[in-house]
């Protein structure tokens, strides 16, 4: 069967067009095009290094691949690829190379299967995208740390919540430090993906068992920035773990960003009034003229759900297949790439929107003790005076009920009432949000000195992460 497909010699008829379209991954594959060219140039180097092809053929192939790379960069290759009947971007690139170098182009696929080609190209994509995601998270962490350091200087406070109920007073810098700590974990996850995606090169593994041709796999591995060629061909061509790890890291990043976004969305309501979004990060209503909607942060929440769904789909597509390559992995790749591309967009939007959040520090601080958030400090003072934790909890709870019924905050007279109730004198106890915060003594607490130490430690860690660089293929 004469065909432009990369296979067909043993077939007597062309495939059904509808089924061929069903099996095509070309549109999904287009983002892989630049990485496939890089992969193919390394394969040419490995063929040359093993004396499988001549230097003349290698030079022609490399020149043709450079021309394809230029077309990919200027956007014309995508149009060319869509006009072909190729199943995927890899076949389209092979065909374009043969356009530019008809005789030499016939040697490009020597000793190579789409199995090892796709596995390698995908790893290059994963490495580059993980580095991009890491950079986005690092910029978000950098901003959050800067904002936390400024808030520490201002001394702004908020009523921290659990179950969305008033809990205890904390510094705004403490909340911002919490968000920064989350982003540091995100960075570390992406960093692991970058490292893992640079470990073993599948290129040269062939379809599943290696090659009888003396392909110099160590040359292509080094050229692509891998530590070594893969050890087991059958594993390397069916392995999509690192790709799924990237999608997992994206999903986890967006889940964290979604949690931060949830507080910002709620704080932006007039009922809270803790933050106001700049016009640049807000939208309005087509009907209600007064509306200022925190859409970027709402969309981040939704994209988190989408990334989790893509991760589940990717894992599901792998769960029922045997070892080595199966066409199901085409769908794994699609789920990964769709989830990663949309997820990266959401992570970038989250990072871009953060500086447009303006904190109403005076209002936040004024309400930091609302809801009896200093009650735990009174219980601690009672324990210091000799009461048990159970006695203190009950006594302070009873006094909170009294104050609540009288519609007033806790104040000094309550200390006298508590002392009479339990027979223990409380000499001093924090009666303001600021006093509560300053009274904290444990490592990692919201006390200003502890927050300052935490922020300094996180800044050092961020600097170390930014200094550490795992190479990217592009």
Residue with tokens 């190479």: 471
Residue 5 CA to its chain's centroid (Å): 37
210 occurs within a structural domain = no
6 occurs within a structural domain = no
Please tell me the predicted confidence (pLDDT) of residue 456: 98
CA distance to 39, 202, 237, 394, 447, per residue, from 123 (Å): 10, 9, 11, 59, 45
Which of 79, 110, 141 is the last residue in one of the domains? 110
Give bridge partners of residue 165 from the DSSP assignment. Answer: 162
Pick from 6-10, 79-83, 187-191, 420-424: least confident:
6-10
Task: Say if residue 211's pLDDT is above 50.
Answer: yes
- The span from the CA of 394 to the CA of 382, in Å, is 11
CATH of the domain at 238: 1.20.200.10
Task: Say if residue 85's pLDDT is above 90.
Answer: no
Whole-angstrom Cα Rg for the chain? 30
pLDDT band, very low/low/confident/very high, at 473 (cuts 50, 70, 90): very low
- The span from the CA of 155 to the CA of 66, in Å, is 57
- The span from the CA of 376 to the CA of 382, in Å, is 10
Q: In terms of domains, do 79 and 163 share one?
A: no
Task: Say if residue 250's pLDDT is above 60.
Answer: yes
DSSP alpha helix (H) spans, 356-432? 361-366, 375-384, 389-405, 412-422
Please tell me the predicted confidence (pLDDT) of residue 11: 62
Tell me the mean pLDDT in the region 290-304. Answer: 96
5 occurs within a structural domain = no
Q: In terms of domains, do 200 and 247 share one?
A: yes
Q: In terms of domains, do 324 and 392 share one?
A: no
- The span from the CA of 384 to the CA of 376, in Å, is 12
Q: In terms of domains, do 332 and 408 share one?
A: no
322 occurs within a structural domain = yes
Q: In terms of domains, do 75 and 147 share one?
A: no
CATH of the domain at 98: 1.10.275.10
211 occurs within a structural domain = no
- The span from the CA of 176 to the CA of 437, in Å, is 16
Q: In terms of domains, do 321 and 386 share one?
A: no
CA distance to 57, 108, 128, 278, 363, per residue, from 37 (Å): 16, 11, 14, 43, 56
- The span from the CA of 374 to the CA of 428, in Å, is 13
CATH of the domain at 396: 1.10.40
Q: In terms of domains, do 260 and 276 share one?
A: yes
| Residue-number span of the structural domain to which 61 is assigned | 23-110
Question: Which active-site residues does the annotation give?
Answer: 163, 285
CA distance to 125, 250, 254, per residue, from 348 (Å): 18, 11, 10
Please tell me the predicted confidence (pLDDT) of residue 450: 98
Q: In terms of domains, do 146 and 188 share one?
A: yes
Please tell me the predicted confidence (pLDDT) of residue 20: 65
Give bridge partners of residue 166 from the DSSP assignment. Answer: 161
Task: Give the rounded percent of residues in the chain with a pLDDT score beyond 90.
Answer: 85
What value does the mean pLDDT of the chain take?
93
Q: Tens of pLDDT along 299-325?
A: 999 999 999 999 999 999 999 899 999
Number of independent structural domains in the chain: 3
Which of 110, 137, 159 is the last residue in one of the domains? 110
Task: Say if residue 32's pLDDT is above 70.
Answer: yes
Please tell me the predicted confidence (pLDDT) of residue 10: 65
Pick from 21-25, 259-263, 432-436: least confident:
21-25
Which of 55, 76, 110 is the last residue in one of the domains? 110
Q: Give φ, ψ of 292 to 5 degrees.
A: -135, 105
C-beta neighbour count of 322 within 10 angstroms: 7
Q: In terms of domains, do 95 and 160 share one?
A: no
225 occurs within a structural domain = no
149 occurs within a structural domain = yes
Task: Say if residue 224's pLDDT is above 90.
Answer: yes
Q: In terms of domains, do 289 and 343 share one?
A: yes
Q: In terms of domains, do 242 and 351 share one?
A: yes
Pick from 284-298, 343-357, 459-473: least confident:
459-473
Please tell me the predicted confidence (pLDDT) of residue 1: 41
- The span from the CA of 401 to the CA of 291, in Å, is 38
Give every CB contact of residue 207 below 8 A, 6+ residues apart in sequence: 113, 115, 116, 237, 325
What would you measure as the largest C-alpha separation in the chain, in angstroms?
100
Q: In terms of domains, do 81 and 188 share one?
A: no
Instruction: State whether the Cα torsion 44-45-49-50 is positive or negative.
Output: negative
- The span from the CA of 378 to the CA of 375, in Å, is 5
48-56 LR contacts (CB < 8 Å, sep 24+) = 48/216, 49/215, 49/216, 49/219, 50/213, 50/214, 50/215, 50/216, 51/214, 52/110, 52/111, 52/213, 52/214, 52/215, 53/107, 53/110, 56/104
Please tell me the predicted confidence (pLDDT) of residue 469: 54
Q: Is 453 left (phi over 0), alpha (psi -120 to 50) or beta?
A: alpha
Comparing 469 with 413, the larger pLDDT belongs to 413
Task: Say if residue 470's pLDDT is above 50.
Answer: no
């Amino acid at each position: 069967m004469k065909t432009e497909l990369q296979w067909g010699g043993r077939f007597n008829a062309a495939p059904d067009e509808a089924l061929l379209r069903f099996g095509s991954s070309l549109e999904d594959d287009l983002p892989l095009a630049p990485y496939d060219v890089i992969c193919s140039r390394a394969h040419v180097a490995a063929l040359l290094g093993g004396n499988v092809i001549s230097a003349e053929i290698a030079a022609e192939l490399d020149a043709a691949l450079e021309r394809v790379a230029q077309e990919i960069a200027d956007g014309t290759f995508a149009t060319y690829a869509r006009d072909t009947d190729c199943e995927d971007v890899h076949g389209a690139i092979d065909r374009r190379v043969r356009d530019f170098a008809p005789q030499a182009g016939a040697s490009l696929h020597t000793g190579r299967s789409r199995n090892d080609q796709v596995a390698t190209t995908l790893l290059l994509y994963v490495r580059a995208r993980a580095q991009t995601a890491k950079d986005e998270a690092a910029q978000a962490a950098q901003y959050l740390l800067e904002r936390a350091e400024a808030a520490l200087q201002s001394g702004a406070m908020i009523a921290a919540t659990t179950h969305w109920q008033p809990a205890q007073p904390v510094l705004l810098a403490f909340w911002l430090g919490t968000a920064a700590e989350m982003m540091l974990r995100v960075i570390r996850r992406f960093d692991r993906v970058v490292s893992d995606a640079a470990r073993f090169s599948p290129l040269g593994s062939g379809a599943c068992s290696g090659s009888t041709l003396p392909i110099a796999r160590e040359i292509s591995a080094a050229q692509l920035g891998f530590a070594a060629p893969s050890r087991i061909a059958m594993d390397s061509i069916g392995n999509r773990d690192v790709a799924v790890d990237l999608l997992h890291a994206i999903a986890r990043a967006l889940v964290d960003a979604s949690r931060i976004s949830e507080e910002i969305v709620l704080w932006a309501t007039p009922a809270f009034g803790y933050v106001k979004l700049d016009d640049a990060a807000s939208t309005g209503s087509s009907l209600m003229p007064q509306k200022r909607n925190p859409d970027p942060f709402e969309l981040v929440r939704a994209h988190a759900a989408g990334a989790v769904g893509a991760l589940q789909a990717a894992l599901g597509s792998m769960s029922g297949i045997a070892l080595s390559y199966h066409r199901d992995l085409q769908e794994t790749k699609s789920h990964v790439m769709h989830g990663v591309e949309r997820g990266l967009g959401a992570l970038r939007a989250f990072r871009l929107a953060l500086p447009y959040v303006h904190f109403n520090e005076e209002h936040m601080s004024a309400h930091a003790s609302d809801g009896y958030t200093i009650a735990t400090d009174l219980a601690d003072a009672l324990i210091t005076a000799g009461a048990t934790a159970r006695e203190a909890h009950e006594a302070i709870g009873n006094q909170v009920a009294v104050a609540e019924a009288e519609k007033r905050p806790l104040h000094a007279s309550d200390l006298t009432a508590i002392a009479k109730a339990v027979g223990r004198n409380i000499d001093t106890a924090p009666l303001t949000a600021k006093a509560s915060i300053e009274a904290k003594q444990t490592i990692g607490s919201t006390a200003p000195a502890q927050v300052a130490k935490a922020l300094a430690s996180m800044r050092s860690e961020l600097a170390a992460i930014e200094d550490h660089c795992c190479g990217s293929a592009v």
